[in-house]
């Protein structure tokens, strides 16, 4: 085995017989062995060298092995505690430390060999991507680099931006990136136009005066006023009723709004970024988007390609999602080369959102530190090729993902007619709106965590 892929193992134990046996098995597995018989020796060894794995006895001549765990910088070393005298107290304390495992003497040879094999597999992996991306957008594809350039150029201007792309590609991240690049001091405020009942959307956008309609017990400031000095993100613009699109166009042209039930125009300073998963020209043809609004709000279009057209971004994104999980849970899991190849081959109909869910699931189900098969085989060998009236459910999808895909697929099939979709699904229209609002809130939380 080449030295570059030989795990370096530190054995910290004063039991000569145990050290001899453990070292023999490790050398047979191709590992390089260093021995320390005390805490002082172990600290000296760890100052001089970096180790891939350290097996540390709890009972050492000059103290507890737990003291070594607490005092050393072990960011690149996986730690395993060993003891010949296990106790509930030591086990509980060990669980509070960043140790990989807690083993009882005499060691199970097969378990020990598997530990060494996992370590060898881990160090043979390519280093994970350490980039969080620019404005939360991570990737290495030419398409993404072009989008980042566009964001940097349009950000400092007042131009309205229309982001186009399939569901799950990260349109809200692009919108947030435009806001961050703008230097505006106000808030970023997002609304999903398809998740709010049409009769409430005007009030949500423009606000209302007290008594303007039944239930309007007090004045309400709409999203335009909440986003004063900042950016208003209008997701799924083509789901906004056309009569409200006329009011939106007026607000863009005059830089002012009027609350529902109000008589005064209120000057606004708001940057508009809109998004749609439809073709704007098809939406105009279908009567879903006013042509005059398109030419005003589409002043600067940004097209975000689906993930299947950006294969170079997949390893970067997958590594980023996995690294965040490792940081959250104190683990050091990584994808094997075969796993990365599998991720690149998959068609990703759910785009970045689906990739993140797959990484989360693979992390939870991983038996060790090396993730070998992140996607269930049926998904890879039989990619989703659906007709407009069908929905393929891949093995391993969560119930929430199935429900979300079923709802959006049904809405697309019925051209966003929520009454017909509700009838087909056997639920009320109110349930449709409640689900859409829940998805909007979840997506906003995801976008905030990714930003």
Tell me the per-residue pLDDT of 148-166, one tens digit each, with 9 for 90 and over.
Answer: 999 999 999 999 999 999 9
Confidence at 378, pLDDT banded by 50, 70, 90: very low
Q: Is there a domain that residue 129 lies in?
A: no
**Do 243 and 324 belong together in one domain?**
no
Q: What is the pLDDT of residue 272?
A: 96
Lowest mean pLDDT among 190-199, 285-294, 373-382: 373-382
**Do 167 and 74 belong together in one domain?**
no
Q: What is the pLDDT of residue 405?
A: 79
Task: Show which of 90, 123, 156 is a domain's final residue.
Answer: 123
Q: Is there a domain that residue 132 lies in?
A: no
Q: Is there a domain that residue 133 lies in?
A: no
Give strand ranges (E) for 310-413: 334-335, 370-371
Instruction: Specify the DSSP element, H or E, that contains 188.
Output: strand 188-192
DSSP character at residue 5 = G
Helix (H) and strand (E) counts for the chain? 19, 16
**Do 207 and 292 belong together in one domain?**
yes
**Do 148 and 210 belong together in one domain?**
yes
pLDDT in tens, 291-302: 999 999 999 999
**Do 261 and 272 belong together in one domain?**
yes
Tell me what percent of the residues of the chain surpass a pLDDT of 90: 39
Q: Is there a domain that residue 128 lies in?
A: no
CATH of the domain at 440: 1.10.8.60
pLDDT in tens, 262-278: 888 999 999 999 999 99
Q: What is the pLDDT of residue 302?
A: 96
**Do 339 and 435 belong together in one domain?**
yes
Confidence at 190, pLDDT banded by 50, 70, 90: very high
Confidence at 171, pLDDT banded by 50, 70, 90: very high
Confidence at 3, pLDDT banded by 50, 70, 90: very low
Q: Is there a domain that residue 258 lies in?
A: yes
Task: Show which of 88, 123, 158 is a domain's final residue.
Answer: 123
Q: What is the pLDDT of residue 383?
A: 41
Q: Are 285 and 232 in contact (CB under 8 A)?
A: no
Q: What is the pLDDT of residue 317?
A: 93
**Do 148 and 230 belong together in one domain?**
yes
Q: Is there a domain that residue 136 lies in?
A: no
What integer is the mean pLDDT of 398-416? 78
**Do 13 and 48 belong together in one domain?**
yes
Give this prediction's pTM.
0.60
How far is it, in rounded angstroms, from Cα 160 to Cα 305? Answer: 20
**Do 372 and 293 belong together in one domain?**
no
Task: Show which of 93, 123, 153 is a domain's final residue.
Answer: 123
- Total domains, the chain: 3
**Do 316 and 290 belong together in one domain?**
no
Q: Are 149 and 122 in contact (CB under 8 A)?
A: no
Tell me what percent of the residues of the chain surpass a pLDDT of 70: 84
Residue 69 belongs to domain spanning: 3-123
**Do 303 and 165 belong together in one domain?**
yes
Q: Is there a domain that residue 361 lies in?
A: yes
For residues 178 and 132, the model is more confident at 178
How far is it, in rounded angstroms, from Cα 302 to Cα 319? Answer: 26
- Residue 140: exposure state from Cβ atoms within 10 A (0-12, 13-18, ≥19): middle
For residues 428 and 400, the model is more confident at 428
Taking alpha carbons only, the member of 120, 117, 2, 8 closest to residue 55 is 8
**Do 240 and 300 belong together in one domain?**
yes
Q: With a cut of 50, say whether residue 314 has pLDDT above it.
A: yes
What integer is the mean pLDDT of 114-118? 88
CATH of the domain at 71: 3.40.50.2300
């Amino acid at each position: 085995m080449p030295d570059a892929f030989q795990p370096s193992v530190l054995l910290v134990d004063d039991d000569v017989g145990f050290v001899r046996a453990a070292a023999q098995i490790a050398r047979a597995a191709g590992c390089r062995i260093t021995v320390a018989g005390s805490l002082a020796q172990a600290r000296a060894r760890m100052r001089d060298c970096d180790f891939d794995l350290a097996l540390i006895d709890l009972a050492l001549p000059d103290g507890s092995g737990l003291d070594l765990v607490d005092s050393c910088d072990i960011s690149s070393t996986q730690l395993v505690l060993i003891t010949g005298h296990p106790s509930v107290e030591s086990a509980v304390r060990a669980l509070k430390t960043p140790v990989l495992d807690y083993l009882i003497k005499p060691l199970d040879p097969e378990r020990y060999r598997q530990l060494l094999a996992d370590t060898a597999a881990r160090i043979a992996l390519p280093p994970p991507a350490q980039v969080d991306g620019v404005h939360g957008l991570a990737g290495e594809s030419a398409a993404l680099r072009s989008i980042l350039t566009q964001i940097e150029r349009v950000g400092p201007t007042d131009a309205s931006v229309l982001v186009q792309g399939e569901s799950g590609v990260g349109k809200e991240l692009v919108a947030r990136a435009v806001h961050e690049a703008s230097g505006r001091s106000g808030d970023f405020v997002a609304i999903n136009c398809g998740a709010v009942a049409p009769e409430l959307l005007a009030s949500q956008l423009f606000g209302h005066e007290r008594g303007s309609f039944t239930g309007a017990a007090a004045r309400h400031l709409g999203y335009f006023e909440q986003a004063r000095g900042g950016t208003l993100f209008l997701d799924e613009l083509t789901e906004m009723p056309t009569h409200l699109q006329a009011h939106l166009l007026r607000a863009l042209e005059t830089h002012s709004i009027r609350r529902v039930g109000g008589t005064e125009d209120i000057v606004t300073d708001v940057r508009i970024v809109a998004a749609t998963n439809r073709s704007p020209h098809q939406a105009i043809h279908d009567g879903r988007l006013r042509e005059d609004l398109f030419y005003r709000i589409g002043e600067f279009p940004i097209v975000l390609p689906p993930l299947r057209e950006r294969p170079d971004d997949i390893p970067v994104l997958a590594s980023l999602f996995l690294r965040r999980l490792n940081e959250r849970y104190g683990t050091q899991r990584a994808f094997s080369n075969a796993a990365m190849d599998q991720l690149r081959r998959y068609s990703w109909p759910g785009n970045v959102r689906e990739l993140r869910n797959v990484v989360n699931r693979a992390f939870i189900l991983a038996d060790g530190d090396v993730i070998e098969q992140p996607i269930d085989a049926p998904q890879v060998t039989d990619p989703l090729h659906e007709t407009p009236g069908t929905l393929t459910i891949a093995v391993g999808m969560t119930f929430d993902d199935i429900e979300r895909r079923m709802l959006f697929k049904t809405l697309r099939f019925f051209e966003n007619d929520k009454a017909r979709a509700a009838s087909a699904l056997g639920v009320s229209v109110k349930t449709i709106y409640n689900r859409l609002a829940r998805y909007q809130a979840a997506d906003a939380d995801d976008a905030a965590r990714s930003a």
